Structure 1
Amino acid sequence: MKFTFQGKDQGTVNKGNTKFRFVVMALIITAFLTTPASAVVISGDTHLRVEVAEITPNPARPGEDLLIKINIENTGDEPAENVKIGIEELDPFILKYSTSGVYGSGTNTERDFQIEQIRQRSKVELNFHFSVSSGARSGVHQLEFTIKDDDVTSFSRRIPIRVEGNPDLVLIGTEILPANGENFSSGALVPGEEFYLKTTVKNAGNGNAKNVRVVLDLNGSSPMIPMQDNVFFLENLSAGSSENVSFKLLLGSNTGVQPYRIPLRITASNEAETLQINRSQEIGVNVLNRAKINIASLKFDPEMPERGQKASMILRLENVGEGEARFVKARLEGLEGGGSTDAFLGRLEKDDDAPAVFTFIPDKTGEHEVTLLVEYEDDFGEHRFSEVLTFNVIRTRESIVPFVLGAVLVLAVVILYLKKKGKL
């Protein structure tokens, strides 16, 4: 096409053409740099775009169905031929089928299919039915649709879909630990003892939990007394995560010996606060009594053991604990000379005592050191303790008499000699 401009010189015309080309080029660049709100493909005189019409439910729920409606619109002046549609399944969404008026009243289960024609300035509605994996975690997930026309011009559209699961709170790894560290393996308590109740609250569901509370739900008749706050609070606990919980308590000194249950209550909600969690769990604990064996007295028969003579060590053992002691036995270790070094006492109730008698013949004089080893059982298991004992052994009286007589005789001779010399 030829343009003729009158009243202008050639230089003016050239300047006008330059400005015209600049404007056209700017418009082309602007068209390429401008991104529409919905995905678009342009091929010839066709102009395709994809818009999301509906997501139901929104947010999606794990283990339930999901409907996504999209519109593919041709805003161009010519029909779009052989429009190929592909679905990239992204976890946790699984395609079940799709429906559309363009392929009748039936369903389509293919992830990739073709629409023969989309007329100019018209649109096609597609309904995609998915299932959401029951293990889907809360958060934003995506589905991707690809569109390709007959000229192999293609584009893709990712659709963000929010999934909101439900939390499921459980207590795991619960244990009872005495504050003084004793009886660690037994998991039992004695009256008047401080202890820790330790557990872990876990979100075993597929949704995040909000405003989580673990509460010691004790009533006025409970022998358990909280030593600290009886509520553990977490603002959020995401799916699959856990948090350690600890309470310090005191068991009343007058608590009876029997099993008890400590009630715990868990409250929380899902993120949308459409689900409220309120459940209880009980922790069992045994209250037992502990035996304790002490040496009540120690004596010898005769009172002063003699070398080479039979002697008896009489130990009186007493149960000063609150529980029954069973299979009580004692043994002396390190005793020199022959004799009996073992004693079996059997059962000792609270405040009971019994003698442990050891007979032996010491073979030398002087100080002796022996170790007393006591073993017994109670409701908490086996126990043992040891005590170092010392005693003296003297010479026998028969060996002392000749010595004394000899000394007296020597003294008499000395006195007689001195008299003869006139010195006395």
Structure 2
Amino acid sequence: MKRNTVSVCLFMLTLLLILTGVTSVQAESSGDECLRAVVEDISPSSVGRDEEFTVGISLENCGTQIPEDITFEIISVPSDIIITEDLVAEIPVFVYKNSERQLRYHMRTTPDAIPGPHIIKMKLTYGSEDVKRTAYYEVEIIVTGEHAEPRISSVITDPKYIYAGDTVDLDLEIENFGDSIAKSVVVNLDHGFKGITSSTIGAIAPEGKQTALFKFKANNSGTFDIPVIIDYEDDYGIQKDEYYIKITVLDRKSSLNLASVKVNPVLPQTDDTVELTMRIENSGDRTINSIRVYADHPFQGLKESFIGTLDPDEDGPAVITFVADQAGEFEIPVIITYIDDFGEEQIETKVNVIIMEQNGGAGTIIIIVLLLLAVIGGLVYNNYRTKKSKDEIIKQLMEGSSSPAEDTKE
């Protein structure tokens, strides 16, 4: 069955070559010169990339006269087919009127030959100086190839559960499910975050795997369908495939938090040297480096404090010292900066500080509020929860009692 199929193919190729021949002068009678070219065989019939093959051509006399001054030449060759023989064959004359002449061309496809049909064009010229006859032929060579099929086989993120503000390591495992080598593989990730969006992984053999590495800052929460574009080359040239992966970023405030604020003295007055202590807590699961706290207060003194590094669940003090040279209630902007893999990040917040006039006799209510805030702030920071009777405290303070209210623990 296979041999019959090959025979049919050779017959069709021969018929194609004969039918595509265009002769400038046709034979008008049995006494005219007539010469034709016929494809004898293409061996092997299936030609792959970087493979050798041969094409056999037979020149047959189809008239009653002996043809003279015969020239058979290949006039056009695809760039990915190499022919080792001379492209021009000259035959002075046939010996007999029924003679035949066989030509065999050894050819080879290049390693980067593009699969598909390739046309080789030929020209046959014969006849005397007075009457020249020319015919043109085409031979079709089919170059076979295989497709590569690189696809995403796994998606791994570190951390596994991503929160807004996290720096994410994303590994995409790319596996080649095709039959050809996937060459020059580049994976592009259109995630929309700040970070790495392209990874070059080279070549992937059939059934082989390679990992594309990405890193980005997940600064927004939500569920994202992220396009993944894979550029590569296979036997059929440059290819581009597009897939999608789903990434969920959970909503969470920054892992750096202002845990507590302490003012020393508790009730600062004008001309006092004030020590403002802000404890910064790392509530995340990654170590944060180069932490600085900047308090933009209007007084004379220090405005910046360097904490350095905080491990997960660790806190550290930022101490700002200044001279309270004016009285009033001040809302002080505080900027916490730190450095991660993508540069400097910052968190903005505010703290309130009240400066009393020197011997100014401030209202008792203000003093009470400040005392309560100081007490409650200290208790919250030390993880104690205390119940007090606000009415009893106010009554005792108004009466000038020095005995504290009785504590009740939950």
- TM-score after normalising by structure 2: 0.60
What does residue 7 of structure 2 align with? none
What does residue 185 of structure 2 align with? 172
| Alpha-carbon separation, structure 2, partners of 1:171 and 1:111 | 40
| Alpha-carbon separation, structure 2, partners of 1:371 and 1:63 | 71
Letter in 2 for 1:330: V
What does residue 358 of structure 1 align with? 320
Pick aligned residue for 2:81 from 72, 84, 93? 93
Change in Cα spacing, 1:119 to 1:67, as seen in structure 2 (3 Å) is: same
Given that residues 194 and 217 in structure 2 are in contact (C-alpha distance below 8 angstroms), is that contact kept between their aligned partners in structure 1?
no
Q: Does residue 304 in structure 1 map to residue 281 in structure 2?
A: no
| Alpha-carbon separation, structure 1, partners of 2:20 and 2:334 | 91
What does residue 125 of structure 1 align with? 102
Correspondences of 1:284-323 after superposition (within 5 Å):
292-323=255-286
SS at the partner of 1:46? coil
| Alpha-carbon separation, structure 2, partners of 1:146 and 1:118 | 22
Change in Cα spacing, 1:372 to 1:184, as seen in structure 2 (3 Å) is: farther
Larger radius of gyration: 1
What does residue 47 of structure 1 align with? 34
- TM-score after normalising by structure 1: 0.58
Pick aligned residue for 1:346 from 298, 308, 311? 308
Q: Does residue 247 in structure 1 map to residue 233 in structure 2?
A: no
Which moves more between the two structures, 294-303 or 377-386?
A: 377-386
Q: Does residue 372 in structure 1 map to residue 352 in structure 2?
A: no
Given that residues 293 and 306 in structure 2 are in contact (C-alpha distance below 8 angstroms), is that contact kept between their aligned partners in structure 1?
yes
Given that residues 189 and 229 in structure 2 are in contact (C-alpha distance below 8 angstroms), is that contact kept between their aligned partners in structure 1?
no
Q: Does residue 75 in structure 1 map to residue 62 in structure 2?
A: yes
Change in Cα spacing, 1:201 to 1:314, as seen in structure 2 (3 Å) is: closer
What does residue 147 of structure 1 align with? 124
What does residue 193 of structure 2 align with? 181
What does residue 204 of structure 1 align with? 233
Given that residues 188 and 229 in structure 2 are in contact (C-alpha distance below 8 angstroms), is that contact kept between their aligned partners in structure 1?
no
| Alpha-carbon separation, structure 1, partners of 2:215 and 2:274 | 45
Correspondences of 1:231-246 after superposition (within 5 Å):
239-246=237-244
SS at the partner of 2:84? strand
Given that residues 301 and 323 in structure 2 are in contact (C-alpha distance below 8 angstroms), is that contact kept between their aligned partners in structure 1?
yes
Aligned-pair CA distance for 1:55? 1.2
Given that residues 33 and 63 in structure 2 are in contact (C-alpha distance below 8 angstroms), is that contact kept between their aligned partners in structure 1?
yes
Aligned-pair CA distance for 1:308? 2.6
Identity across matched positions, percent = 20
Q: Does residue 324 in structure 1 map to residue 324 in structure 2?
A: no
SS at the partner of 2:137? strand
| Alpha-carbon separation, structure 2, partners of 1:342 and 1:315 | 11
Superposed CA deviations along residues 164-184 of structure 1, whole A, max 9, x for unmatched, are 23443247333677x783666
| Alpha-carbon separation, structure 1, partners of 2:328 and 2:141 | 93
What does residue 372 of structure 2 align with? none
| Alpha-carbon separation, structure 2, partners of 1:118 and 1:251 | 87
| Alpha-carbon separation, structure 2, partners of 1:129 and 1:164 | 18
- Give unmatched runs, 5+ long, in structure 2: 1-16, 148-180, 198-213, 364-410
Change in Cα spacing, 1:161 to 1:311, as seen in structure 2 (3 Å) is: same
What does residue 160 of structure 1 align with? 140
Change in Cα spacing, 1:182 to 1:343, as seen in structure 2 (3 Å) is: same
| Alpha-carbon separation, structure 2, partners of 1:297 and 1:160 | 83
Aligned-pair CA distance for 1:200? 4.1
SS at the partner of 1:204? strand
Given that residues 193 and 250 in structure 1 are in contact (C-alpha distance below 8 angstroms), is that contact kept between their aligned partners in structure 2?
yes
- Give unmatched runs, 5+ long, in structure 1: 1-34, 98-108, 208-238, 253-289, 402-424
| Alpha-carbon separation, structure 1, partners of 2:126 and 2:136 | 12
Given that residues 274 and 322 in structure 2 are in contact (C-alpha distance below 8 angstroms), is that contact kept between their aligned partners in structure 1?
yes
| Alpha-carbon separation, structure 2, partners of 1:250 and 1:398 | 57
Letter in 1 for 2:82: I
Aligned residues: 285
| Alpha-carbon separation, structure 2, partners of 1:57 and 1:203 | 30
Given that residues 323 and 378 in structure 1 are in contact (C-alpha distance below 8 angstroms), is that contact kept between their aligned partners in structure 2?
no
What does residue 64 of structure 1 align with? 51
Aligned-pair CA distance for 1:62? 2.5
SS at the partner of 1:397? coil
Change in Cα spacing, 1:331 to 1:38, as seen in structure 2 (3 Å) is: closer
Change in Cα spacing, 1:200 to 1:58, as seen in structure 2 (3 Å) is: farther
Aligned-pair CA distance for 1:157? 0.9
Letter in 2 for 1:187: K
| Alpha-carbon separation, structure 1, partners of 2:228 and 2:46 | 33
| Alpha-carbon separation, structure 1, partners of 2:310 and 2:330 | 30
Aligned-pair CA distance for 1:115? 4.2
Aligned-pair CA distance for 1:195? 7.8
| Alpha-carbon separation, structure 1, partners of 2:290 and 2:115 | 60
| Alpha-carbon separation, structure 1, partners of 2:18 and 2:289 | 87
Aligned-pair CA distance for 1:123? 2.4
Given that residues 187 and 231 in structure 2 are in contact (C-alpha distance below 8 angstroms), is that contact kept between their aligned partners in structure 1?
no
Q: Does residue 387 in structure 1 map to residue 349 in structure 2?
A: yes
Aligned-pair CA distance for 1:295? 0.4
